[in-house]
Structure 1
Amino acid sequence: MTVAALLEICTKKGLTIATAESCTGGMVASILTDLAGSSAMFLWGAVTYSNAAKRSMLGVSQVTLVAHGAVSEEVAREMALGARNRSGADIAVSITGIAGPGGSEYKPEGRVCFGLATTKGIATETVDFGALGRDKVRLAARDHAVALLLVTAQA
């Protein structure tokens, strides 16, 4: 998994990316813009840590937030869709999860939900990284999101 490979593929194919992040706090946007020339693929990133930000910046439904909670595939789906629609990007990835410490029986520490919106549709998934500690969960989520982007760009 390499951001350089993602940049190369996106540049060749003319693909653009947007991010919508919660628990990673902009880490995906940061790693995507670390390389010179990244403006060829990266349009913008939204850090929507609060539910209010998810609603106002990305258009996540209050009904969805109440029914499923912020850490859910339903919210990840709406975050990705909102980022793609509002940015005009070809691909948008979203991340919402519980980095820790803490969590609950139903939503444990290390659970992260991802959304991926493209011109072909929307996919979501949940990954339980486990109680690795806040920093490691956030890094694992960042790396997983970049891997999702790379696979999507290659397709």
Structure 2
Amino acid sequence: MDISALLDLAESQRATIATAESCTGGMIAAALTDITGSSSVVDRGFVTYSNAAKMQMLGVSAETLKDFGAVSEETAREMADGALRAAGTTLAVSVTGIAGPGGSEHKPEGRVCFGLAQNGVQTETELVDFGALGRDKVRLASRDHALALLQRALERGDA
């Protein structure tokens, strides 16, 4: 992933980006802001590891968390929508998952849900089962997948 190219594309479209991260703990925002000049595109990142933070900072509903859990496409959607709304950006990506170790039969290690919110476009969600790669590798794979979602949205030109 060429993050500089992603940022250049965003800047050429006057797009701005916010992140809403749980299991990645800020890794997406860090990857973006590691690039000099990224401040013209990256507005802010929300690290919402706890359910309370998801509700307070992003407006994720208690009902969604109760009915679907933190690791769900429904929660990822509300996280992305909340980040877009709170930041006032043109794009927001969210990630919530089970990096490991551990998990359960219904939510195994390596299961990660993503959201991509954009102005004027229906929010997309995606569930990816990376498998039990180990905590570090699941987090890195999640970061890279979220960056790829941003890249694809920018390439479509609907940001």
* Interval containing the TM-score (normalised by the shorter chain): over 0.9
Amino acid at match of 1:149: L
Distance in 2, Cα, partners of 1:85 & 1:117? 9
Q: Deviations over 1:125-150 (max 9, x none)?
A: 00000000000000000000000000
TM-score, normalised on structure 1?
A: 0.99
Aligned to 1:143: 144
Which deviations, in whole Å up to 9, do the C-alpha atoms of 1:97-150 show, x marking residues without a partner? 000000000000000000000011200000000000000000000000000000
Structure 2: give runs of 5+ residues left out of the alignment.
none
Using the alignment, how far apart are the partners of 2:11 and 2:118 within structure 1? 16
Q: Deviation string for 1:34-55 (max 9, x for gaps)?
A: 0111011100000000000000
Equivalent residue runs for 1:127-138 within 5 Å: 127-138=128-139
Percent identity (aligned): 65
**How far apart, in 2, do the equivalents of 1:145 and 1:64 lie?**
22
Where does the alignment leave 5 or more consecutive residues of structure 1 unmatched?
none
Aligned length: 155
Matched, 1:124 2:125: yes
Shift of 1:154: 1.1
- The TM-score, its normalising length taken from structure 2, stands at 0.97
- Give the CA RMSD over aligned residues: 0.5
